[in-house]
A and B are shown apart, each in its own frame.
Chain A
Amino acid sequence: MQGYRCQNCHAESITKTTFCPKCQSQSFELFTLPTNGTVYSFTIIRVAPPEYVDFAPYTVALIQLTANLRITAFIQEAVSIGEKVRWKETKNQTFIFEKVV
């Protein structure tokens, strides 16, 4: 997993923008994200969009990966805020995480 860091103001994001929303710079560097993180918040989706019905109920969680960066990830199991999780794989543009056992 890689994130974008603004080389001018050091803002970090998982998504790339044309201009840095904080300082308008166009200089970004790709950096490697840690694979372990903490659950910042989550929800358990029970009524799922058509293409996700087979996975329901499933968890979508915001994972705190660095001090300034969170990403939205799919987790099959239930989690709670503050719990340690780790990257399992990236499939169909989806970050899939799992609990650290």
Chain B
Amino acid sequence: MSKKILLLSSVIFLSSCASNNISELGDKFLDLINPSNNATEVAMLSGEETLVAMGETGGFTIDELEELSNDELIAIVREKGLEDLILLDEDGNLLNRDQLINAIVESAALLESKSEELESMSDDELIEVAVTKGLSDQIELDDDGNLANRDELIDALVESAAAIEAAISEFSNNANSFTLYFAYDDTEIDEVATRIIIQHANFMQENPSVNLRLEGHADERGTREYNLALGENRALSVKEVLGLYNLDDRIIVVSYGEEVPILTGSNEEAWEKNRRVEFSYY
């Protein structure tokens, strides 16, 4: 059976058109394609909105980016200093076009290494990070209260991040589970799960600079937004147990609802794996 397809051809999209009168509508069509009309649209923006000449993607709309050739995309990616992302095959053909487009769209958020991330921060942000990581004693301020040892502080933070990573890696190698599973539409923590949570609580107490992100998930059944709430409740019930160890301040809870399944497929096997809370340390 052939089915209707959403055509992917991109045609100029007419903005909303205020007219009940059919002849006015004809005129309106001519107005709409006239660029001068943009000024009226802009003027209609409320004061809360920031009009920018360039969108989040730079000087391109998403559709425009998608129409570019691979070579043009590569040139933009190089311009943004993201050439490390480019993957070419032996013949020099681009392998990861989609990823590059996503990278251009999200370029602000793209920082590969910990040190790059820290380098990009302001002094104030660095100080904040150092405090949350328990490295306040490493912060040196000059007479004006400015950060005096920026480079050393970055080194210390990178070092501490490496130490945390090593600790997490050791913890996970000791066959500790980083995922808890739940029953349908349920947030109950059973005995097995409680034992796992206690191991995590001990780990966090032994490693005071480690912070935990609890990610709640649901299976695909039921509505997306309800599942988003359900996923959060699952993560919160894990946090509640960890709270008994006074770890509340070091835990953030997020929910992905049914959006990030481990297994795809509409069967009990997939659903069981997808109703979960994941532990993620940082």
Q: Do A and B bind each other?
A: no
**Which of B's residues lie within 8 Å of A, judged by CB?**
none
